[in-house]
Amino acid sequence: MNDQLALPVGITLDRFIMRNEADFPFATGELSQLLRDIALAGKIVNRDINRGGLADISGQFGSQNIQGEQQMKLDVIANIRFIRALKNGGEVCAIISEEDPELLATGNNKAKYVVAIDPLDGSSNIDSNVSVGTIFSIYRRLTPMGTEPNINDALQKGRMQVAAGYILYGSSTMLVYTTGRGVNGFTYDYSLGEFFLSHPQVKTAAMGDTYSCNEGNMDDFPASIQQYLHKCKGQRLTGRYIGSLVADFHRNLLKGGVYLYPSTTKNPTGKLRLLYECFPLAFIIEQAGGIACDGKGRILDIMPSSLHQRSPLYIGSTKMVEDIYSLCFADAS
């Protein structure tokens, strides 16, 4: 009876990470600490987002990033928060950020890991109070420890990731990540200031009833994708498109569905960035039982050639992505 008066609150992210350290014989706590550093920065960014309107940190910053996109004030703030956390944590030798043109060496030359990050994906939606997110990817460095990192440490195939995840800032704040042993989601408890395990071993449906795509660009899509979208409509599938990649991906991960961001006549190589958008989400979806491709092959098999390389992305429930791939293959032949 007394136990019922104080029910357990669940497993915290820190405790979960510590319990699973034994899964990584090559690590001696550094990866665990790195994940904690990312979670801490996520808590701070979550606070910044929630007080954005009161602190005059919403709206445009007044400059463009390396992609030629207008930076929002919170883009800049989130970038500073995560870079500061990763530098001070000491486990990262180099960072690739959407907001910075070049590889950023942290000065921690003895560190094992490289992080690719989109500090605040979907930031153009902030002023409309729409969900946004952070996407991150972690690699083991290729250059010898103790030396200066270089671009080769960043340009690795997606299959070389040791961990990847995202933080969704929405009606609730969630951190979802994988280390190659399934996908787990943690929900932030504001009253305790902790992430708690809420979605253990997430599995996505093999077939969903939702497709997510900006159909305003449909006339510029490849014929195969136009054909697929007409098929979706014919099957009375539900169209759901938020315009924040993390939010669209998260919904489809939990409920089943497919997210499409094809190439267009304006962006023939696609628009999403390979290293810090496509790769981490592809790693997550494959660990959850789904699949991701660019219309030609698996996303995780692409060998990147530049830090801000772009790619088409079709990601989600296996049967839906395979259907897209077969249409793209037929279109190409």
124 is in an annotated binding site: yes
43 is in an annotated binding site: no
122 is in an annotated binding site: yes
121 is in an annotated binding site: yes
C-beta of residue 169 within 8 angstroms of C-beta of residue 282: no
214 is in an annotated binding site: yes
241 is in an annotated binding site: yes
259 is in an annotated binding site: yes
118 is in an annotated binding site: yes
Q: Which uninterrupted H or E stretch holds 261?
A: strand 258-261
169 is in an annotated binding site: no
123 is in an annotated binding site: yes
314 is in an annotated binding site: no
Residues 6+ apart with CB under 8 A from 96: 103, 104, 114, 115, 116, 117, 154, 275, 276, 307
98 is in an annotated binding site: yes
261 is in an annotated binding site: yes
Provide the residue type at 203 as one letter. Answer: K
Could you count the other beta carbons within 10 Å of the beta carbon of residue 117?
27
DSSP one-letter code for 139:
E
Burial class (CB in 10 A: 0-12, 13-18, 19+), 243: middle
C-beta of residue 257 within 8 angstroms of C-beta of residue 240: yes
Binding-site positions for Mg(2+) read 98, 118, 120-121, 277
Binding-site positions read 98, 118, 120-124, 214, 241, 259-261, 271, 277
Binding-site positions for substrate read 121-124, 214, 241, 259-261, 271
